[in-house]
Structures are given as C-alpha cells and as structure tokens.
Homo-oligomer: A and B are copies of this chain.
Amino acid sequence: MMSRSATGRLRALTQTTARIVATRPNVLRTVAVPILNATRLYTTTVVPSTKKVIPYTVDKFPGHVRNENFKKITEQDVDFFKSLLGETGVVYKNEDDLFAFNTDWMNKFRGKSQLALKPKTTQQVSAIMKYCNDQKIAVVPQGGNTGLVGGSVPLFDEVVLSLQNMNNIRGFDDVSGVLSADAGCVLEVLDNWLGEKGYMMPLDLGAKGSCHIGGNIATNAGGLRLLRYGSLHGTVLGLEVVLPDGTILDNMATLRKDNTGYDLKQLFIGSEGTIGVVTGVSILTPHRSKAVNVALLGLNSFEDVQKAFTHSRKELSEILSAFEFWDINALEMFKKHAVTKAAMENEYPFYVLVETSGSNKDHDDEKLNNYLEKMMENEVAQDGVVAQDETQIRSLWAIREGFTEALGKEPAVYKYDISMPVPKIYECVEDMRAHLTQGGVLGKPDSAVIDVVAYGHVGDGNLHLNIAANRHDKKTSELIEPYLFEWVAKHKGSISAEHGLGVAKNEFLGYSKSPVMINMMKTIKNLFDPNGIMNPYKYLPTK
C-alpha cells in the first residue's frame, strides 16, 4: 500500500519539478509560422512537504457520534477475516500500517479504524460484506484514497475494505474499444496499458497515478477529458457490484446498446460506496489521438475567457479536448511552492489552457493556429504560447494539475468544487473576495485568509474555488459557509460538481437537491443497505 500510494504522490511531485517550457511571448501577434518555437517558461524547485500530525476527523468536524448499533470488532471477527483472506490480507491494530488507510491523501481527514481488509477476488468481497451485514459491522470501501471530501476514510472504527489487491485487467476488445477491469486498477496504469494498443481511458485527472477506476466510478469522477468524452454515466457500459448483503450484482455488459430493463448500474456511479462495492468495470475507451496540441493564453478578463471558450467550440469543435482556466492568484500560488523563474513576458489576470486532440496533425495545427490568430487579432487573448513537443505539453498541464498540490502546502485550505452557468463563474470568486475583505479576514498582513484562488473547467461550468488561510478559524468558516452555498443555490448551481459529498458536503445537500429528491435518495439507501453499514455518517444528510 505505502509504496503504491507513495508512487502516486511521487508522480505528482515529479510533475511539479518538471521544467516547464514554452514559447517566446507575443510572437503570436506577428505570427509567421503556424506553430511557434519554444523557449523556457518556468524552472521549478519543489519545497518538500513535511509530515504533519493530523487531527481526527471527528475532532476537527465535531458533532459526529458513533452509531452504537454497529458492532465493535472482536478477535473472533479478525480470525474470520484471516481465515478468508490469509494473514497478508488483514491489517489489524498496527498504527503505522493503518495510517494510510485511515488518512486521505490531503491529510485532511483521519479515521480511527483498527482493521483494513484487502480481498483479491469478488467472492472474497462478497463473503466480507455478507459477514459484516450479518454482524452489523460498518464498512468503508476504499480505492486509491485520493478523494477530497473524506469519503474514502473512516470516521470511527469502521472496517476499511481496500480494493488495492484487485487490480487485474479482465479483457479488451480492440474492435469496439471496450475494456473490462477489476475496480482496483490504477487509472494511469490502465491508460498506459491502453496506450500501447492505440486507445486511452475516457477520463483523466490529476490523481491518475494513485486513483482506482473503481473509486472513479464510485465518485463519478469528472476531470480533464469530460468536455470531450462525456461523463462516466455514458462511458461505463457495465459494472460488477457487491451489495451490502454480499449479493453479487453482475451487470458487466460490454455492449454499447442494451435496453433490457432499468439501468441499475447507473445508481452506483457516484454513490460513494454507500449502497455497494464496485468490484469490476467495463468501459468504452476512445482511440488515442495521433495529434495533441496544447496552447496557453493570457487574457485580461473572465469575459474574454468566455469569448475564447465560445470561439473554441466553434473553431476547434470536434478536436477540442480541454478548455481550462486559472486566475493570476492560482498562478502565484503555484509559483510560491514551485519557485518559478520566467514566464510569459507579462503576467495576465487570467490564463486559459486549450488542448486539441485529433487524427491529423496538419489539420489540427491549422485549426488551432486559425483559432489563436483570431483570438490575438480580436484582442480576446493578450498573449499565447503553443507547446512544441510531449515534454512541453506535460509541462503546461503540470501548471493546471499542480494547483491542488501547491495549495496543500498552505497551512489551511478551504476547498470548494462548484458548478454553475459559465457566465457566473468568476462573479462568484469576486463576490467571495469582497465578502471576506468586508468580513475582515482578507486583505491585511495578519489576515486569516492568505488568498482566494480560482481555477477550473470552463467547458463544464466547473469552478475550483480555494481559500488558502493561515489557520482554520471559526470566523472565516462562518463567513464562507453557508454564504457560498447560498450563492450557488441562488444560481441553480451544484455545491459539489465533481468531488462528491463524503463527510465534508453531506449536510449541505439541501442547497442543491429538493426535499423530494433527498427523501427519494434516503429510500434508495435504505432499500440497498437496510442496516446502514455502508460508509456511514456520510453522503446523505444525517440531520
């Protein structure tokens, strides 16, 4: 576990240390060649993170009470699990070994579990669930543990059911592009494996080096390719799920079309381990594009960001594969923890990363160049650079993917992941800054809040709003919530666009869903999990 997890984190760090290279600034204004030559943009040096002592979630977010209906683990229970999984499949009462199962990757949530189980087969998962259901033992399914809302770690003494030892690829059909795999396969491993066959995973996210495909499905991960390849509700063709009573629901279809009854698998996509354990996945994978281009634009306003987006959908259309933005505050945060050197000649209030993926490099270059020229001529963009090779592409992406890591190095971060109509995105950020300044926690040297940082997926109306602070304090918290949730609700947005609910957002569900919807969700939860043993205290409101 530790080494795999460590590898995942290492990958992110390596990305941050990568030399980020781009083109001479402003050359696009007098563009003579379709794609520009590159010079250095940033050189980064990582500030190593120090291991912190992490408070327990139940101390940090008080108000949670252990449900005494749940059985406390006994030696007999442990013996049963050892007989089922062998000694190596059970981690019990070993504080060091259990740390990684009890703690999320951001070191924000920490549980008190004394037992983690590592089954290797669906049958073992089924036997574990049947036993736990009969005994009323609470269970937290865990994938790569890269979530951001504390959904994958326990609060109290719930048993951690890790899928890390279920990591076999089950099959691949290279006519249809349908991949079948165990839930515990790491996203990046699958993507690399497919790469050799000319295919790719239809989703991509910063945590790809650690996150599991099963966890991606349980949390309905969105990420960087959603704009192009759509959501998992469309790309997942089949699931194998173990229900709370141990029943194996075999819905591992590999068919693109199958209209035979209710599409039950959909319920588990985004259910965060509350009604079943995803053990197997079949997913439609697209062909890997022969040509990938990445451009970075500097812009003066969010209005210009929107103009650039609208044009990109028209001009780049079928080859547009990502349209990401960040503000200068996000860039400053990145530079703070990556010790950057040199950039575009000037700095701009907004940046946009445009990615195209297509089958013909010449065609794509022409489309992208036409688009970029138009953006520069019309002064929508003030400056632009285009990556010249795979290394430069990775380097540009490393900025976008480095914000989470950089923010993690701040003393405290309030993280929000919201969606709303595109024109509202930055109004929300500016409102929050004004609100915090007015509230007296932002803008002075000794203010609690360090900065309000914004980035996200413009194409999906998805804003990652991060408030970096010197400390978590009551005044700041109360200024942010429920103010932000009310703001989002007023504009018919979502209080959790892609991170999910977990233990961090569950009590705020009412800001995005009606009482009728929440009641129906509770009915579904009770139907599948009448004993409530699956991932308790999370997802749905407890109050």
Q: Taking beta carbons and an 8 Å cutoff, which residues of A are in contact with B?
A: 173, 175-177, 198, 219-220, 222, 226, 230-231, 233-235, 247-251, 253-264, 266-267, 269-271, 275, 287, 289-290, 306, 309-310, 313-319, 357-360, 363, 366-367, 419-423, 457, 459-462, 492-501, 505, 509, 512-514, 516-518, 520-521, 523-525, 527, 539-540
Residues of B within 8 A of A253 (CB): 492, 494
Contact A256 B460 (CB under 8 A): yes
A29 to B359, CA, bound (A): 24
A290 to B191, CA, bound (A): 32
Known: A266-B267, A461-B255. A235 touches B226 (CB 8 A): no
Known: A287-B313, A309-B175, A367-B359. A262 touches B257 (CB 8 A): no
Contact A501 B261 (CB under 8 A): yes
A432 to B313, CA, bound (A): 46
Q: Nearest CB to that of A514 among chain B residues?
A: B250
Known: A233-B233, A359-B317, A521-B262. A422 touches B499 (CB 8 A): no
Q: How far is the CB of A143 from chain B (nearest CB, A)?
A: 15
Contact A175 B497 (CB under 8 A): no
Contact B309 A520 (CB under 8 A): no
17 more CB-based (< 8 A) A-B contacts, given A255-B461, A316-B359: A175-B309, A222-B257, A247-B516, A254-B421, A255-B419, A258-B512, A259-B499, A259-B501, A260-B494, A261-B517, A262-B275, A263-B266, A263-B270, A267-B267, A290-B317, A315-B359, A317-B359
A290 to B318, CA, bound (A): 11
A525 to B540, CA, bound (A): 23
Q: How far is the CB of A171 from chain B (nearest CB, A)?
A: 11
Contact A517 B250 (CB under 8 A): yes
A363 to B363, CA, bound (A): 6
Residues of B within 8 A of A357 (CB): 318
Known: A257-B226, A318-B318. A262 touches B367 (CB 8 A): no
**Copies of this chain in its oligomeric complex:** 2
One of B234, B247, B524 near A231 (C-beta < 8 A): B234
16 contacts between A and B (CB under 8 A): A175-B310, A222-B257, A231-B257, A233-B233, A233-B266, A249-B520, A255-B420, A258-B512, A260-B505, A260-B509, A262-B275, A262-B524, A263-B266, A266-B267, A289-B318, A318-B359
A173 to B420, CA, bound (A): 12
Contact A496 B259 (CB under 8 A): yes
Contact B249 A516 (CB under 8 A): yes
A258 to B501, CA, bound (A): 10
Q: How far is the CB of A360 from chain B (nearest CB, A)?
A: 6
Q: How far is the CB of A99 from chain B (nearest CB, A)?
A: 27
Residues of B within 8 A of A267 (CB): 262-263, 266-267
A505 to B176, CA, bound (A): 26
Residues of B within 8 A of A254 (CB): 421, 492
A500 to B514, CA, bound (A): 31
One of B230, B359, B461, B496 near A234 (C-beta < 8 A): B230
Known: A359-B317, A421-B175. A263 touches B269 (CB 8 A): yes
A523 to B262, CA, bound (A): 11
Residues of B within 8 A of A314 (CB): 198, 287, 359
Most buried by B among A250, A251, A461, A496: A461
Most buried by B among A173, A198, A233, A527: A233
Residues of B within 8 A of A258 (CB): 419, 494, 496-497, 512
Q: Nearest CB to that of A423 among chain B residues?
A: B175
Q: Nearest CB to that of A457 among chain B residues?
A: B257
Contact A255 B423 (CB under 8 A): no
Q: Nearest CB to that of A249 among chain B residues?
A: B516
Contact A257 B461 (CB under 8 A): yes
A514 to B252, CA, bound (A): 11
One of B289, B496, B527 near A317 (C-beta < 8 A): B289
Known: A287-B317, A367-B360, A421-B176. A261 touches B518 (CB 8 A): yes
Residues of B within 8 A of A222 (CB): 257, 259
A505 to B309, CA, bound (A): 46
Residues of B within 8 A of A358 (CB): 317-318
Q: Nearest CB to that of A492 among chain B residues?
A: B254
One of B257, B309, B517 near A264 (C-beta < 8 A): B517
A499 to B289, CA, bound (A): 33
A254 to B419, CA, bound (A): 10
Contact B249 A494 (CB under 8 A): no
Contact B494 A259 (CB under 8 A): yes
